[in-house]
């Protein structure tokens, strides 16, 4: 009886969960909320703070209805669990936080605490992680297809183009001034095609790349300095780094090129004339995401998160699922190869890259494995 009373006191709505329970919840990678019988938020673990992008103290001042909407599916599920004193599981639930943030697709698990129940626990399992990994495999397949095409283009197109450009150059000395503009046009266009083919060749480069343990913040600092001295000189670039991150196993030049590409895309999306243009660079440690290694039973953890977020107009919804496919671009004169190359490079580092966007913001999230010594140069946590 004394043990029962102690347990009920531990989870009473006016008091916090026990220290051991709080430590357990804090260590879980899934967002967890515990609510009182009125739907007030009695507490949240760090994963829930990251999911809803607000602190536990702020969430405690608002109820679940204010957090997700009174008529949201999550609020309705809580009321059903409270009224029936039963456990509910619901899959593929859409959550749209009332105060900003994009739509999230989650599995929801709700259950009562205590007997009789005095609190309810909600656990969220984000489904988009699996969906994102599935799309990453598609992106890598697309990159391999481009690699095959690149090899063919390099052999079958570049040589004839050199001949066309050389012939146009010879003609310039024997034609009138009016016709010389046409020969110049021929040379300019053949040079443009050659540059495009050269970009294709980046996909077919299968040479081994030198990899080493890297401080990702040193990479980002270099990228920021380059951006501010050039294409992003009229924008603000803010940083929010986790200084305790372990090293990543990668190629410095390739990672610099990846983040330069993402920041350049962000600056172009904001535009040159925006007075409030801002790009945010953030890093964090996100345990719980693992990816299978092809041809092996091993699974690699991808806990290192780097985000590049801008306050531009956002990516059109219909383009988001295919944004990393070759030839897909939101730019008027874009080739559509930059983000495909980003996906290929991050994939070769054993990571994934994804884009989330809504009106007024776009965020590219890169997940990378940590460096583990003694695995024949392999990276990642088994």
Angle at 203 between CA 324 and CA 361, to 5 degrees: 25
Q: Is the pTM of this model over 0.85?
A: no
Most confident of 201-205, 210-214, 321-325: 210-214
Confidence of residue 334 (pLDDT cuts 50, 70, 90): low
β-strand partners of 356: 363
Q: What is the mean pLDDT of the chain?
A: 77
Cα–Cα dist 259/283, whole Å: 13
How far does Cα 249 stand from its chain's mean position? 18
276, 279, 328, 359 from 311: Cα distances, Å: 8, 7, 21, 9
Cα of first residue to Cα of last residue in the chain, in angstroms, is 45
Q: Which residues contact 106 (CB under 8 A, 6 or more apart)?
A: 93, 95, 124, 125, 126, 127
What confidence tens digit (pLDDT) does each residue in 1-51 have?
444 333 333 333 334 455 666 666 667 778 888 888 888 888 888 888 888
14 in the Ramachandran plot: left (φ > 0), alpha (ψ -120 to 50) or beta?
A: alpha
- The mean pLDDT value for 102-126 works out to 81
Cα–Cα dist 192/187, whole Å: 9
In the predicted model, is pLDDT for residue 180 greater than 90?
no
CB-count exposure of residue 69 (10 Å: 0-12, 13-18, 19+): middle
């Amino acid at each position: 009886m004394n043990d029962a009373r102690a347990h009920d006191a531990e989870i009473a709505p006016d008091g916090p969960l026990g220290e051991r329970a709080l430590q357990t919840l804090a260590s879980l990678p899934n967002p967890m909320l515990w609510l009182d019988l009125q739907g007030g938020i009695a507490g949240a673990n760090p994963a829930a703070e990251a999911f809803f992008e607000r602190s536990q103290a702020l969430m405690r001042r608002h109820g679940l209805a204010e957090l997700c909407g009174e008529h949201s599916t999550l609020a309705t599920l809580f009321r059903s669990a409270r009224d029936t004193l039963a456990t509910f599981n619901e899959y593929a639930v859409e959550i749209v936080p009332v105060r900003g943030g994009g739509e999230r697709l989650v599995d929801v698990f709700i259950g009562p605490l205590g007997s009789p129940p005095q609190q309810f626990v909600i656990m969220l399992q984000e489904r988009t992680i699996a969906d994102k990994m599935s799309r990453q495999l598609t992106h890598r397949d697309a990159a391999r297809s481009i690699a095959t095409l690149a090899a063919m283009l390099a052999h079958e197109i570049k040589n004839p183009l050199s001949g066309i450009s050389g012939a146009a150059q010879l003609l310039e000395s024997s034609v009138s001034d009016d016709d010389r503009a046409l020969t110049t046009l021929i040379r300019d266009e053949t040079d443009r095609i050659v540059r495009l083919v050269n970009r294709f060749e980046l996909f077919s480069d299968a040479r081994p790349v030198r990899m080493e343990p890297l401080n990702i913040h040193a990479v980002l600092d270099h990228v920021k300095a380059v951006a501010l001295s050039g294409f992003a000189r009229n924008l603000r670039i803010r940083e929010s780094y986790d200084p305790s991150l372990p090293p990543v196993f990668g190629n410095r030049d390739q990672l610099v090129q990846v983040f330069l590409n993402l920041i350049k895309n962000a600056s172009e999306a904001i535009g040159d004339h925006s007075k409030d243009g801002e790009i945010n660079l953030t890093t964090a440690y996100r345990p719980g995401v693992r990816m299978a290694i092809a041809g092996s039973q091993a699974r690699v953890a991808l806990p290192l998160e780097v985000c590049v977020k801008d306050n531009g107009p956002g990516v059109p919804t219909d383009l988001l699922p295919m944004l990393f496919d070759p030839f897909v671009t939101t730019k008027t004169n874009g080739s559509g190869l930059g983000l495909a190359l980003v996906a290929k490079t991050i994939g070769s580092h054993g990571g994934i890259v994804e884009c989330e966007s809504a009106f007024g913001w776009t965020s590219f999230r890169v997940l990378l494995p940590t460096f583990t010594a003694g695995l024949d140069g392999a990276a990642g946590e088994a």
